[in-house]
Structure 1
Amino acid sequence: MKPLGQLTVICGSMFAGKSEELIRLVRRAMYARKKVQVFKHALDDRFAHTAVATHNGVQWEAIPVRNTRELLCHLDADTEVVAIEEAQFFDEELVRLCVELADAGKTVIVAGLDQDFRRQPFGIMPLLMAHADEVVKLRAICVQCGRPASHTQRLVDGRPAAWDEPTILIGAAEHYEARCRNCHQVRRVPPAYRKRLLRGIRRTGETP
């Protein structure tokens, strides 16, 4: 009988434990004597170039790749479990590859940021989540108030980053914090994004 494949997407803000969860699932697959390959986007070289690394120092060997085609070149035909870190940096071909692998009976585990520092959907993550059999959304702890945090706060010289700054800036605690929706801030937000539906409804007296 053909193995039943699965696509699991691990998402959340920075400092939410996404890498830890990916490593935990990879370790379980190894205990089950599955052949596992772990990949990461080459952009992420904060802690180790050839390893998935958590913020508390745990590491797992990984193959750094720059795009989906390069990943495919390193993928062995007999691999049963494919784990991919920092999926938000990959091109859209990764979505098709993950679906094809799962359809072929492979277990695919993907981890990435679901939102950028503006609280906007990040890269291909929404598509991966739509195709997933399971979505594991993790939350961190807000450094400002201690409540659950779902958002990534970018800091530039200690101040909240501006909306028009580049989406990608590799860094950890020196550039980013986990914050809840009340404490998250972005400077110079365009007027179109400052509008709120509820404010409009209350102003006109319409019923949602």
Structure 2
Amino acid sequence: MLRKNDNGVLEVICGCMFSGKTEELIRVLKRAIIAKQKVLVFKHASDIRYSHEELYSHNGQKITSHLISNTKEIFSLDLDEVDVIGIDEAQFFSDDILEHVELLMEKGIRVIAAGLDLDYRRKPFGCMPQLLAMANKVTKLSAICVQCNDEAHYSQRLIHNNQIVLVGAADSYEPRCRKHHKIT
């Protein structure tokens, strides 16, 4: 575990819907808390599926978080003693996140960002390609295809809607392998 006086690093957790990204983020953040590190957690304001004050995984894991629309809002808090910052749903933030993550790392903070690397069309999602390129460590997770039980790397949108950003859960998406993923 890195301490604040060490160099800042960026870790990115990515994968498709239901691959366990938020669960993994929460697990890593809770380990930092056990290690007596000061942790702040943020999630995008559009993700209020389960709670406004907590980051929830689909399997019920949770941790206290701040709801923000722009990563610039992170700097409104006192970061002097912060060791680790977790950011969920990173793909929803504007490209400003890239500059803000750099500033956090310059402060010696370990930043852990989780998000979808691909949208429902199998295209790179938002700022994630740049975050992945900047990352010191990448964890790419997969799910189980609901059609054949093979490894799934794609998010199948179940409802017809051409918006790239459509926050949803099992009612809107399911994990699929390449063979069973259809771009709608």
Short-chain TM bin: over 0.9
TM-score (norm 2): 0.94
| Counterpart Cα distance in 2 of 1:78 and 1:183 | 47
| Counterpart Cα distance in 2 of 1:77 and 1:103 | 12
Select 1:48's aligned residue among 38, 48, 51.
51
Tell me whether 1:141 sits opposite 2:138 in the alignment.
no
| Counterpart Cα distance in 1 of 2:17 and 2:179 | 17
Tell me whether 1:168 sits opposite 2:171 in the alignment.
no
| Contact 2:86–2:111 (Cα < 8 Å) also in 1 | yes
How many Å apart are 1:82 and its aligned residue? 0.5
How many Å apart are 1:143 and its aligned residue? 0.3
Tell me whether 1:182 sits opposite 2:179 in the alignment.
yes
| Counterpart Cα distance in 2 of 1:100 and 1:184 | 38
Q: 1:11-160 counterparts in 2 under 5 A?
A: 11-74=14-77, 76-156=79-159
Compared with structure 1, are the counterparts of its residues 21 and 75 closer, same or farther at alpha carbon in structure 2 (3 Å cutoff)?
Answer: farther
Compared with structure 1, are the counterparts of its residues 131 and 72 closer, same or farther at alpha carbon in structure 2 (3 Å cutoff)?
Answer: same
| Contact 2:72–2:100 (Cα < 8 Å) also in 1 | no
Bigger relative contact order (CA 8 A; separation at least 6): 2
Secondary structure, aligned partner of 1:56: coil
| Counterpart Cα distance in 2 of 1:2 and 1:74 | 19
Gaps of 5+ in 2: none
**Which is further off, 99-108 or 172-181?**
99-108
Describe the superposition over 1:99-150 as per-residue Cα deviations: whole angstroms up to 9, x where unpaired. Answer: 2222331111000000111010000000000000001000000000100000
Secondary structure, aligned partner of 1:137: strand
Compared with structure 1, are the counterparts of its residues 78 and 119 closer, same or farther at alpha carbon in structure 2 (3 Å cutoff)?
Answer: same
How many Å apart are 1:22 and its aligned residue? 0.4
| Counterpart Cα distance in 2 of 1:68 and 1:171 | 22
Q: Aligned residues, how many?
A: 181
| Counterpart Cα distance in 2 of 1:142 and 1:71 | 36
| Counterpart Cα distance in 2 of 1:88 and 1:72 | 19
Secondary structure, aligned partner of 1:15: coil
How many Å apart are 1:2 and its aligned residue? 4.2
TM-score (norm 1): 0.83
Q: Which has the larger radius of gyration?
A: 1
Superposition RMSD on alpha carbons, in Å?
1.4
Gaps of 5+ in 1: 188-208
**2:6 matched residue in structure 1:** 3
How many Å apart are 1:48 and its aligned residue? 1.0
How many Å apart are 1:75 and its aligned residue? 5.0
4+ long deviations beyond 3 Å: none
